[in-house]
């Protein structure tokens, strides 16, 4: 009787979903995603700052500067965080989202303490969520699984 040879463990661990996008698409996404998210964030910050008043040149400048800064910092966090261990990876996103939400809340005219508190609360939620996500998708040595 013939029996099937057992599959090696390496083959089982390497099985992943197919990548349907080309390397060029991934390279474009590294630029397009931070710009698109930055545009949404910049518009949101400018709209909060003008508080239903008229759109002025200073408001447009503020929106574009906010977009630029957010997109650059988001791209940096996105690229750097992938190389970090799960604790630092989650902590970096905690700091980024906490600062981003605190800044947005400060544009509504809220106090510094409320802005910091909201930033900490949102950031803490992101920290817990991402730490669990990264912790449940790594082996005991810290290497990502699939």
Q: What are φ and ψ of residue 138, in 5° steps?
A: -130, 155
Q: Residue 67 — pLDDT band, cuts 50, 70, 90?
A: very high
Cβ–Cβ < 8 Å for 118, 132: no
38: which 2 tokens? 């930055």
* pLDDT tens per residue across span 76-115: 999 998 888 888 889 999 999 999 999 999 999 889 999 9
CA 143 to chain CA centroid, nearest Å: 20
Give the pLDDT confidence of 15-40 residue by residue, as tens digits.
Answer: 567 778 888 888 898 899 999 999 99
- Mean residue pLDDT across the chain: 87
**Is residue 13 in a domain?**
no
Alpha helices for the chain (secondary structure H): 9-14, 23-50, 57-81, 86-106, 112-135
pLDDT at position 83 is: 86
Give the pair of three-digit tokens for residue 108. 């509504």
The total domain count for the chain is: 2
Instruction: Judge whether 37 lies within some domain.
Output: yes
pLDDT at 96: 96
Q: Is residue 11 part of a domain?
A: no
The domain containing residue 108 runs over which residues? Answer: 85-146
Q: Are residues 89 and 138 in the same domain?
A: yes
Examine the domain organization and report whether 76 and 91 are in the same domain.
Answer: no
Question: Is position 19 within any domain?
Answer: no
Entry pTM: 0.78
Residue 138 forms beta bridges with which residues? 144
pLDDT band at 72 (very low <50, low <70, confident <90, very high): very high
Residues 114, 124, single domain; the answer is yes
């Amino acid at each position: 009787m013939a029996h099937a040879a057992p599959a090696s463990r390496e083959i089982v661990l390497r099985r992943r979903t197919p990548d349907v996008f080309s390397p060029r698409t991934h390279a474009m996404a590294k630029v397009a995603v931070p710009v698109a998210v930055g545009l949404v964030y910049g518009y949101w910050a400018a709209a909060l700052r003008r508080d239903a008043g008229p759109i002025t040149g200073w408001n447009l400048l503020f929106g574009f500067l906010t977009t630029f800064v957010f997109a650059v910092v988001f791209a940096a966090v996105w690229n750097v965080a992938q190389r970090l261990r799960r604790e630092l990876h989650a902590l970096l996103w905690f700091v980024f989202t906490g600062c981003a939400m605190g800044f947005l809340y400060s544009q509504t005219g809220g106090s510094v303490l409320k802005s910091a508190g909201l930033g900490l609360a949102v950031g803490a939620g992101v920290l817990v969520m991402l730490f669990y996500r990264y912790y449940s998708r790594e082996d005991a040595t810290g290497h990502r699984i699939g």
